A and B are shown apart, each in its own frame.
Chain A
């Protein structure tokens, strides 16, 4: 079959499945069967190549920010915005973006890939630039050991032809710099010494009884003996961050909840600089960061009965810990909803690796979700008072809102709990469609 015909067929399938409400990867599957090298050939045509973003945490937010930064500089960016992570999903997105003549109007592709899927992807498409964010213990019931995750990301790093952008503060990521392919360069993003204790690596997470005590807890090498970071997150203020970019100080407004999102912003800036090269306008890129809005579940605020309610996705100990550290607990009414569906991860062991001490003072208003009792038990052993345990999400949510008084509300929730809560909230107020 001729190529244009195959592609038109693929686009037709896409149109047909969208009418039926079929899965987004199906047209990609058709393309894969009819023209297995489709994705590879199309992406090879892009003048600025392919950027792959991977790591265990923060891919979605970072990809979104990177795309926005590049578009603000006038680039046409292709991205897999549906969250389809397979080659097939990318094929489906490509078909969606092409015009009737099969032209993809883009200068560069920025793709978010799961670590497991990234390995398959880079066998077919060599990225020019790879951004590797972190390796945190997460969903190990699906991927096995943390060392396995590192091996996957190592393959991504080795397949990258131009530059890998690496997190200097994650020992498992930083050590990838030692075995790159010949000719591949490294660019680093990092944290100032003052901020590093706020981001314990998995190894620091629970070294005996030691609590995270800023300044004291940091057992890693001092910054003087670490490589220079092209983008360094210097300080985090209430609504802004201080960055050191290519040796110059900048201040950026960042309207994102949580220090980890602010660190993701530094990562996005670092990778954008690599795509744009020396011609990058750093000041305007930094200004653009202020316009970034949170991705789904990464700290979005919904107004319910004229009061702000924040939904915070939690899925692993490091993320939960950082979310807790991001705001003073006493100011908020707090609810925690833990589900253990497949998409959440069946294993709730990780709750025992989160420190809930910061909630002791203010307590928790409501604990909910399938594993509400596990969460309540966890809080009990950290001596955190829990006012109510209500596994049913809707009952819990209504009780939480009614009892929140003047306090702004925040709900820490796992993925499927968040989906359900959004749906319930949608009936009470307007929640933007995902």
Chain B
């Protein structure tokens, strides 16, 4: 297929109004810029609570929020859960950070004792912990290599027996601060507590998401003609910093 025939790669940003703290915007921006640098046409579409579901989406990305934002989002997620599960089954890639990661699980019990029902893309449950797990973190993923970032969450996430984690913790706390896992992966859906933002300093993860999105359309990622020196140096520094 000639490149001009490809309609733009459509990144749907989930709940930017309520779930977009600690620099989560950097994930969307990284996907957009890298897609452009690979010569792909790309567009970013926002989905906020109450919005009609987008007719077409190649990639979903969403971030963390305050507890207050999570309530608004949880309700909308229930309404669109069917669409998201269909997309997961088709292999559509998604990146869910922090608050959205929790809601992609089965349930989240907040610090005030209320329970939010998640949409169960991941088999995991989260409960608010006594203190926030905060700091630089380095993890190792079998598929995606070393992932570096900054975690900041009070939720403690426990993976179900069959749930694959995204990575194991090299330094930092991770899902619950104890079991040595970080994040979750189901099909091409990645969940993680890493802000930082995650994708700018982890180009391999960004490119995995872009490749998976193109694969659903029967395409593959064009050859890379730009370099990632800045990201590599930033990764080195981030991995060496105190927690």
Interface residues of A in 162-205 (CB under 8 A from B): 203
Q: Would A376 and B230 count as touching, CB distance under 8 A? A: yes
Which stretch from B75-83, B194-202, B216-224 is at the chain A interface?
Answer: B194-202
Give the CA-CA distance A389 to B237 in the complex, in Å.
Answer: 13
B136 partner residues in chain A, CB cutoff 8 A: 346
A7: shortest Cβ distance to chain B, in Å? Answer: 39
In the complex where A147-B67, A352-B29 touch, is A373 in contact with B152 (Cβ < 8 A)?
no
Give the CA-CA distance A391 to B236 in the complex, in Å.
Answer: 13
Closest to B198 in A: A349
A206 partner residues in chain B, CB cutoff 8 A: 16, 20, 25
Interface residues of B in 184-236 (CB under 8 A from A): 195-197, 200-201, 230-231, 233-234, 236
In the complex where A347-B195, A349-B197, A350-B22 touch, is A145 in contact with B66 (Cβ < 8 A)?
yes
A221 partner residues in chain B, CB cutoff 8 A: none
Q: Would A141 and B21 count as touching, CB distance under 8 A? A: no
Q: Would A346 and B234 count as touching, CB distance under 8 A? A: no
Closest to B231 in A: A377
Give the CA-CA distance A209 to B10 in the complex, in Å.
Answer: 13
B194: shortest Cβ distance to chain A, in Å? Answer: 10
In the complex where A141-B134, A349-B196, A370-B241 touch, is A377 in contact with B201 (Cβ < 8 A)?
yes
Which residue of A203, A352, A391 contacts B26 across the interface (Cβ within 8 Å)? A352
Give the CA-CA distance A303 to B46 in the complex, in Å.
Answer: 47
Does A380 interact with chain B (Cβ within 8 Å)?
yes
Does B17 interact with chain A (Cβ within 8 Å)?
yes
Give the CA-CA distance A348 to B154 in the complex, in Å.
Answer: 19
A340 partner residues in chain B, CB cutoff 8 A: 241
Number of interface residues of B (CB under 8 A): 42
Q: Would B13 and A208 count as touching, CB distance under 8 A? A: yes
Identify whether the interface residues of B are mostly helix, strand, loop, or mixed. Answer: mixed
In the complex where A208-B13, A352-B29, A377-B201 touch, is A140 in contact with B152 (Cβ < 8 A)?
yes
Closest to A347 in B: B150
Give the CA-CA distance A137 to B22 in the complex, in Å.
Answer: 9
Closest to A202 in B: B21
Give the CA-CA distance A353 to B13 in the complex, in Å.
Answer: 15
Does B85 interact with chain A (Cβ within 8 Å)?
no
In the complex where A146-B66, A346-B241 touch, is A381 in contact with B23 (Cβ < 8 A)?
no
Give the CA-CA distance A391 to B240 in the complex, in Å.
Answer: 14
Q: Would B195 and A373 count as touching, CB distance under 8 A? A: no
A207 partner residues in chain B, CB cutoff 8 A: 16-17, 46
Does A378 interact with chain B (Cβ within 8 Å)?
yes
A348 partner residues in chain B, CB cutoff 8 A: 150, 196
A374 partner residues in chain B, CB cutoff 8 A: 201, 234, 237-238
Does A144 interact with chain B (Cβ within 8 Å)?
yes
A376 partner residues in chain B, CB cutoff 8 A: 230, 233-234
B28 partner residues in chain A, CB cutoff 8 A: 209
Which residue of A208, A209, A349 contacts B22 across the interface (Cβ within 8 Å)? A349
Interface residues of A in 383-414 (CB under 8 A from B): 383, 389, 391
B4 partner residues in chain A, CB cutoff 8 A: none
Give the CA-CA distance A47 to B93 in the complex, in Å.
Answer: 66
A176: shortest Cβ distance to chain B, in Å? Answer: 16
A146: shortest Cβ distance to chain B, in Å? Answer: 6
A351 partner residues in chain B, CB cutoff 8 A: 23
Which residue of A141, A144, A208, A353 contacts B154 across the interface (Cβ within 8 Å)? A144
Interface residues of B in 7-27 (CB under 8 A from A): 13, 16-17, 20-26
Q: Would A371 and B237 count as touching, CB distance under 8 A? A: yes
A208 partner residues in chain B, CB cutoff 8 A: 13, 16-17, 44, 46, 48
Q: What does the 1/0 interface line of B13-55 toward A look like (CB < 8 Å)?
A: 1001100111111101110010000000000101010000000
Give the CA-CA distance A352 to B199 in the complex, in Å.
Answer: 11
B231 partner residues in chain A, CB cutoff 8 A: 377
In the complex where A353-B23, A377-B201 touch, is A347 in contact with B17 (Cβ < 8 A)?
no
Closest to B33 in A: A381
B238 partner residues in chain A, CB cutoff 8 A: 374
Does B242 interact with chain A (Cβ within 8 Å)?
yes
A378 partner residues in chain B, CB cutoff 8 A: 26, 200
B127: shortest Cβ distance to chain A, in Å? Answer: 16
Closest to A144 in B: B132
Give the CA-CA distance A203 to B16 in the complex, in Å.
Answer: 10
A349 partner residues in chain B, CB cutoff 8 A: 22-23, 26, 150, 152, 195-197
A270: shortest Cβ distance to chain B, in Å? Answer: 29
Interface residues of A in 333-390 (CB under 8 A from B): 340, 346-353, 370-371, 373-374, 376-378, 380-383, 389
Give the CA-CA distance A348 to B13 in the complex, in Å.
Answer: 22
Does B135 interact with chain A (Cβ within 8 Å)?
yes
Which residue of A147, A352, A370 contacts B66 across the interface (Cβ within 8 Å)? A147
B135 partner residues in chain A, CB cutoff 8 A: 141, 346
In the complex where A353-B23, A376-B230, A381-B26 touch, is A209 in contact with B17 (Cβ < 8 A)?
no
Closest to B235 in A: A373
A414: shortest Cβ distance to chain B, in Å? Answer: 14
Give the CA-CA distance A253 to B134 in the complex, in Å.
Answer: 44
Q: Would B44 and A137 count as touching, CB distance under 8 A? A: no
Give the CA-CA distance A352 to B66 in the complex, in Å.
Answer: 18
Give the CA-CA distance A137 to B69 in the complex, in Å.
Answer: 15
B172: shortest Cβ distance to chain A, in Å? Answer: 12
B154 partner residues in chain A, CB cutoff 8 A: 144
B196 partner residues in chain A, CB cutoff 8 A: 348-349
Q: Would B150 and A380 count as touching, CB distance under 8 A? A: no
Closest to B243 in A: A346
B64: shortest Cβ distance to chain A, in Å? Answer: 10
Give the CA-CA distance A291 to B125 in the complex, in Å.
Answer: 58
Closest to B228 in A: A377
Give the CA-CA distance A203 to B201 in the complex, in Å.
Answer: 25
Q: List 8 A-B contacts (CB under 8 A).
A: A140-B152, A209-B13, A348-B150, A349-B196, A351-B23, A352-B23, A376-B234, A377-B230
Task: Rank and list the top 4 A-B pairs by shortest CB-CB distance, nearest first.
Answer: A352-B23, A352-B26, A349-B23, A208-B46
